[in-house]
Structure 1
Amino acid sequence: MITQRQILGTGAAVLAATLTVAGCSDSGEQSGGDAGGSASIVVSTFPFGVEEFTQAVLDPFTEATGIEVEIDTGSNADRLSQLSLADGSNGVDVMLISDTYAGMGEEEGLFQPVTAADVPTMDEIAPFAVSEQYSGPAYSYQLNGTMYNTDELTAEEAASWDLYANADYAGRLALPDISVTAGQLMVSGVAASVGSGPYDVDAAFATLGEWAPNILQFYSSTTEMTNLLTQGEIVAGDALNGFATELVAAGEPIAWTAPAQGRYMATNRAMIPVGAENVEGATKFIDFLLGVEAQQASAEIVGDLPVNLGIEFPQEIIDVVGDIAQDPTGAGYETLDPREIVPNRDVWVERFAREVVGG
């Protein structure tokens, strides 16, 4: 049985629309501090795609193991804040979280190591999904690129960062704010293209400041950008690949392409908090999550890019990213180093607002 609850924080208005509270006290009693004997675990995850994730992963996991799953949902920031306030012991057994926030949690010592000795399927996943900088493995990833109107632009035009400097499209382009996942990937892509590397934000901010008059919106929600694109208000915008899947499948005149230079990807990671009450159940869940069955279903139902090398990629994913999905690092995609991002994040966010958006 899958039960659901919410972590409420600064994003309460958004989270209130996602799930209802059910059965929290019962699950808490079952967990009861028994590291291996509990018949339930608490999984903290994102507030979107919960129904699809339940179908693809949670229900099959419970059927295979007998372990019931209770879900906590919330934004990355809210969930990490709750875990931090509880010093890693807020009742969560597995936290599914994006890499930047996982890196923040690592800085605070909130997570414990997940190893292949306890999670054998870690030996089946792509090398980039296992990193010494994170205690837990990646279970999915997202590629940064440009989503564009195929009636207005060619793939070659959309792949060039020069697009955003082109005055012919002034007021018809969008870029993400640095505070969202695509934003940092975009900044690092520009930095690698015009500067000395992905963390040369001085060069990136100067260039982005020059592009700013052409940008209709620096968006904080990808839905804002996709709405502008489908309504014809913009011709292109920097975005993660996953947001193009449904639009492409629906036959919209929209495509997604990787940048010609400066290709970066974000990972979603499976972490076990230091205060997890059911570590054995948590490791069983992560082992299942990384296995072929769950990875295949996640790709088909959720639309996630999988890290397990043994699946067959759905046509819907191939239609957006092509062969990149089968070997993103071979296609030039890299992950960013949290040791560079996390200590500088607050300063970079402030500088972006001042030098790019407000410049």
Structure 2
Amino acid sequence: MKKLISLLVMASLLLLAACGSNEGSKEKTKKLVVSTWGFNEDFFNKEIYKPFEEENHVEIVLDTGNNADRLNKIKQGNSDVDIIFLSDYYAQQGIQDNLFETIDHAKLPNLNNIYDVAKAPLGEDYGPAYTIAQFGIAYNPDEVKKPITSWNDLWSKDLKGKITIPSITSTTGPMFLDAASVIGGSKTFNEDKAFSEMKKIMPSVVKEYSQTSEFVNMFSQGEIAAGPIMGMYFASLQEAVPNAKFVIPSEGGYGVMNTVNIIKGSDQKELSEKFINYILGKEVQEKSAKNKVDSPVNKEVKLTDEEAAGLTYGEELINSLHILDMKFVNENLKGWIDRWNRELVQ
């Protein structure tokens, strides 16, 4: 009888263990679907996503692609995404289309440690910028007569047939249009002055680029000597042309905010807010910065000059950048595109 009771007890314990194992595996199958660009996946999977997965018993599933394609999938309802990373230009479109949940900033304590400009770039109800990129000018000093230090230098006759500019439909197109307005002498954006200056520069343009890879190819093959580009892509230019230079123009560069938001209808809102707070933390921000992946917005991250090279780092630099009003840009973009096609495209 004792032996029978012992066997029954053991069987019960094994059954409980199996149930516990099933419950654990069920907990492990909880998923957080993250829509992002897909670059540096090995780094993110190992250094950023895996620690969060282990701590929160969740599997992070990636949905990768460019800004426009990923946003369109959300608009069409062809996605089960919980969190989406987008540049501010595209995130504003998502806000206007009512695609994002509002975020309780009180649940993001790490917001207290990031630069003010990054806390709510598109409004208090929406997500922060987890990194800031800078838009300036890259050039090959071996192919120009004098160093480039200003937006105005791109209008020089010496650069005729030697530059590229971003397409108006690209993320940085409206920024360059704003720079043209500055060259035209306006302190605030003036559309007529901007287009007047654009007409002057177009004879110097070899080709408008829509993707950074086009810039890199033209630059490496010697088709162009200079052009406006995001600083985060400069390393690719230097690989092809070691002497290449990147400058923030004397009139000021432009800041591009990469934001993170929660998709409306997500059943993982609480976990999504926890993830957003996590990527704003010092540890994650420091890892990304030291691996030259993303520039930090967390003020607690301290970098040496060598570690900061190529990054948008430090309060002085960040505060010097022009930040466009993306609501204004999106409200006026269709008109700018139409005018661009009428007056500038040949």
Normalised TM-score (structure 2): 0.84
Q: Distance in 2 between matches of 1:227 and 1:65?
A: 42
Identity of aligned residues (%): 30
From 316, 328, 334, the equivalent of 1:340 is: 328
Which residue of the partner structure matches residue 127 of structure 1? Answer: 116
CA 1:142–1:317 in 2, change beyond 3 Å: closer, same or farther? Answer: farther
Shift of 1:138: 0.4
- The Cα offsets for residues 57-98 of structure 1, whole Å up to 9 and x where unpaired, read as 212322333321011112211222222223xx9421111111
State the partner residue of 2:30: 39
The DSSP-based 3-state class of the residue aligned with 2:106 is: coil
| Aligned counterpart in structure 2 of residue 224 of structure 1, from 196, 202, 214 | 214
Structure 1 length as normaliser, TM-score? 0.81
Q: Is the 8 A contact 1:144 1:182 kept in 2?
A: yes
In the alignment, which of 117, 132, 145 is matched to residue 136 of structure 2?
A: 145
Counterpart amino acid of residue 343 in structure 1: E
Following TM superposition, by how much is the alpha carbon of 1:206 offset from its aligned partner in structure 2, in angstroms? 1.4
Higher mean alpha-carbon deviation, 89-98 vs 119-128, is at 89-98
Residue 169 and residue 338 in structure 1: after superposition, are their counterparts in 2 closer, same or farther (change >3 A)? closer
- Where do residues 59-70 of structure 1 align in structure 2 (5 Å cutoff)? 59-70=50-61
Aligned pairs for 1:1-359 (under 5 A) are 39-86=30-77, 90-131=79-120, 133-134=122-123, 135-153=126-144, 157-197=147-187, 199-248=189-238, 252-301=242-291, 303-313=293-303, 318-320=308-310, 325-327=313-315, 332-358=320-346
Looking at structure 2, the residues matched to 328 and 127 of structure 1 have their Cα atoms a distance apart, in angstroms, of: 13
Which residue type is aligned with residue 96 of structure 1? F
Aligned counterparts of 1:274 and 1:337: Cα–Cα separation in 2 = 23
Task: Output the CA distance in 2 between the equivalents of 1:119 and 1:330.
Answer: 22
More displaced 10-residue stretch of structure 1: 165-174 or 44-53: 44-53
User: Alpha carbons of 1:70 and 1:298: their partners in 2 closer, same or farther (altered >3 Å)?
Assistant: same
1:56 to partner: Cα distance: 3.5
Deviation of 1:191 (Å):
1.6
**Structure 1 residue runs without a partner (length 5+):** 1-29, 32-36
Go from structure 1 to structure 2 and tell me whether the alpha carbon gap of 1:51 and 1:330 turns closer, same or farther (over 3 Å shift): closer
Distance 2:297 2:318 in 1: 14
Contact 1:138 1:269 in 2 (8 A): yes
Letter in 1 for 2:103: V
Mapped contact 1:249–1:316 kept (Cα < 8 A): no
Quote the offset at 1:337 in angstroms: 0.9
Match of 2:189, SS state, is coil
The amino acid that maps onto 1:290 is: L
Instruction: State the shift of 1:38 in Å.
Output: 7.6
Counterpart Cα distance in 2 of 1:311 and 1:64: 23
SS at match of 1:158: coil
C-alpha contact 2:140 2:241 (8 A) present in aligned 1? no
Q: 1:344 to 1:237 in 2, by over 3 A?
A: same
| SS in structure 2 of the partner of residue 145 of structure 1 | strand
Q: For residue 192 of structure 1, report the CA deviation from its aligned partner.
A: 2.8
Instruction: Say if 1:130 and 1:239 are closer, same or farther in 2 by CA, change over 3 A.
Output: same
Distance 1:111 1:69 in 2: 19
**Structure of larger gyration radius:** 2
Report Cα offsets for 1:241-299 as digits up to 9, x if no partner.
01113444787111110111142211110101121110111011111111111111222
Amino acid paired to 1:275: G
* Alpha-carbon offset, residue 114 of structure 1: 2.1
SS state at 2:182 partner: helix
Counterpart AA for 1:273? I
SS in 2 for 1:304: coil
Structure 2 residue ranges without an equivalent (≥5): 1-25
When residues 97 and 314 of structure 1 are mapped into structure 2, their CA distance, relative to the original with a 3 A threshold, is farther
Cα offset, 1:197, TM superposition: 4.2
Q: Distance in 2 between the 1:150 and 1:327 partners?
A: 29
CA RMSD of aligned residues (A): 2.6
Partner Cα separation in structure 2 for residue 199 and residue 249 of structure 1: 36
